[in-house]
Amino acid sequence: MDFNDTPQEAAFRAEARAWIAANAPKHLEAELKRASFGSNGIASEDPLKAAKAWQKKKADAGWACLHWPKEYGGGARSAIERVIWGQEEGVYGALSGPFVIGHGMCGPTVMSWASEEHKRRLLPPLASGEEIWCQLFSEPAGGSDLAGLRTRAVKAEDGSGDWIINGQKIWTSGAQHSDWGLLITRTDPNVPKHKGLTMFFLSMKTPGVEVRPIKQANGKSEFNEVYFTDVRIPDSQRLGAVGQGWEVSLTTLMNERLSIGSGMSTGFPELFRLCMEMEIDGRAAVDDRAVRSKLAQFAVRQSGLKYTGMRAITALSKGETPGPENSIGKLVAGATMQELAMFALDLQGQSGVVWDETSPQNGRFQAMLMRSPATRIEGGSDEILRNIIAERVLGLPADVRVDKNVPFKDIPTSGRTKS
């Protein structure tokens, strides 16, 4: 038990700090600091270009995807060093937004399932941010019930071995600026749903792929619908065997929970600052005992999450594999962020409704209020995460599955029974 850096860790920290001090895009620091929630806040230049530039610079110096092997563009560093890097990168970490899905989910899947040749082709530009990836999993008919997806892949009739894809994906974050996609499809509707799936990767520029933005509840447009019309891809772009897609997707989802959950912010430091700075009748909000009580409740959740992450890293560095217990990260962070935003608005009284440049911290809490519902849904809803904890950590019985052994084509598609 030691929370301090070991001498090696301290040396790594010093090295990282020095490199960041010499190389970070300092001209963006002020904007990044002022950024409200859910965007990197850069307006003085193209935010995606700024993100890519920083990522490339890191990659060239060996600081990108720290935990990946060097031959795939990574830094071959330990899990703890990755945490230290994150602490040192500070506000510049917000520039990694466009790469989260690629680095956190698609990359690890490619690393586990692609051929050596593909790994050497695909991973280095993914690490360096030169190529962006998206996750083409969810569909109108398959979100929580991902295995209910309907996008079809069938073998081309010309004997080429190619696959022809038809169907629709939805909620695909970042598809609009992605170069590659990780795509799960149905190759066999005559077997039970989990058994007839196959995973591919494809270039988003492949003919027949069409990306249509969706306007979100918070007014932004980060996720999309992606349509596939007779999209042809070679068999060499398959990951895993035909029919093994479910197993492949578990690699992605496990990494998803790890990468979304552990480092998640709940907005507590910002709320604390608000309560210190905001004056009510000439006194700081934090002078009110009821406010302190609420703050304490948020504080212990935030720190509990942080140290749960540290315990996971400790386990990882002792060679243990991260398990389903990591589902708690996003479960706690999502709900906390939402409650915290509501509390911050409540403190502002009737003015809490205002969301403009006069709002405290540039409207951060209003933005959090409007983004947090998504956190409780994306990458496994709160309910799915509770199921995972109950079943896989506590060993309770699985939900009753009426569709388990039924061929996919025979599963009912509407919840309302005809009378």
Ligand X SMILES: Cc1cc2nc3c(=O)[nH]c(=O)nc-3n(C[C@H](O)[C@H](O)[C@H](O)COP(=O)(O)OP(=O)(O)OC[C@H]3O[C@@H](n4cnc5c(N)ncnc54)[C@H](O)[C@@H]3O)c2cc1C
Residues at the interface with another protein (CB under 8 A): 1-6, 9, 80, 83, 272, 276, 286, 289, 292-293, 295-297, 299-301, 303-308, 310-311, 313-315, 317-318, 325, 328, 331-332, 383, 385-387, 389-391, 393-400
Tokens representing residue 374 in the block: 């998504």
Cβ 369 vs Cβ 352: under 8 Å: no
**Residues between 150 and 189 with contacts to ligand X, criterion CB under 6 A:** 171-173
- Contacting residue, 98, 143, 245, 363, with ligand X by CB under 6 A: 143
Please name which of 319, 208, 197, 212 lies closest in space to residue 252, comparing C-alpha atoms. 197
Q: Find which of ligand X, another protein, none residue 1 binds, CB within 5 to 8 Å per kind.
A: another protein
As a residue count, the chain comes to 419
Q: Find which of ligand X, another protein, none residue 144 binds, CB within 5 to 8 Å per kind.
A: ligand X
Using only the alpha carbons of the chain, give its radius of gyration: 23
Q: Is residue 144 a contact point for ligand X (CB under 6 A)? A: yes
Q: Find which of ligand X, another protein, none residue 377 binds, CB within 5 to 8 Å per kind.
A: ligand X
Q: Which is nearer to ligand X, 258 or 274 (CB)?
A: 258
Q: At what angle do helices 79-89 and 289-317 cross, to 10 degrees?
A: 140
CB of 3 to another protein, least distance (A): 5
Q: Which is nearer to another protein, 43 or 398 (CB)?
A: 398
Q: Is residue 37 a contact point for ligand X (CB under 6 A)? A: no
Q: Find which of ligand X, another protein, none residue 242 binds, CB within 5 to 8 Å per kind.
A: none
Q: Find which of another protein, ligand X, none residue 15 binds, CB within 5 to 8 Å per kind.
A: none
CB of 120 to another protein, least distance (A): 33
Q: What is the DSSP string of 295-334?
A: HHHHHHHHHHHHHHHHHHHHHHHTTPPP-GGGGHHHHHHH
Tokens representing residue 180 in the block: 């590659």
Cβ 217 vs Cβ 241: under 8 Å: no
Cα–Cα separations (whole angstroms), residue 115 to 148, 209, 238, 240: 28, 24, 10, 10
Q: Find which of another protein, ligand X, none residue 143 binds, CB within 5 to 8 Å per kind.
A: ligand X
CB of 402 to ligand X, least distance (A): 11
Pairwise CA distance, residues 376 & 128, whole Å = 30
Cβ 365 vs Cβ 343: under 8 Å: no
45 in active site: no
CB of 313 to ligand X, least distance (A): 25
**Residues between 188 and 227 with contacts to ligand X, criterion CB under 6 A:** 223
Collapsing DSSP to helix, strand or coil, 394 comes out as coil
One-letter amino acid identity for 46? D
Cβ 182 vs Cβ 204: under 8 Å: no
Q: Which is nearer to another protein, 390 or 406 (CB)?
A: 390
**Residues between 388 and 417 with contacts to ligand X, criterion CB under 6 A:** 399
Strand 133-136 versus strand 197-203 pairing type:
unpaired
Q: Which is nearer to another protein, 18 or 398 (CB)?
A: 398
Q: Is residue 135 a contact point for ligand X (CB under 6 A)? A: yes
Return the H-helix or E-strand segment holding 122. helix 116-127
x/- track of binding to ligand X for residues 355-374 (CB under 6 A)? -------------------x
Q: Which is nearer to another protein, 169 or 301 (CB)?
A: 301
Please name which of 236, 187, 182, 173 lies closest in space to residue 204, comparing C-alpha atoms. 182
Q: Is residue 48 a contact point for ligand X (CB under 6 A)? A: no
DSSP-assigned beta bridge partners for residue 182: 135, 201
> Phi first, then psi: what are they for 405, rounded to 5°?
-105, 20
Region of 30-38, 62-70, 107-115, 141-149 interacting with ligand X (CB under 6 A): 141-149
Catalytic: which of 256, 339, 378, 391?
A: 256
Q: Which is nearer to another protein, 162 or 339 (CB)?
A: 339
Tokens representing residue 118 in the block: 């593909």
CB of 183 to ligand X, least distance (A): 10
Cβ 65 vs Cβ 110: under 8 Å: no
DSSP-assigned beta bridge partners for residue 180: 133, 203
Catalytic positions: 256
Residues within the interface to ligand X (CB under 6 A): 101, 134-135, 137-138, 143-145, 171-173, 223, 374, 377-379, 381, 383-384, 387, 399
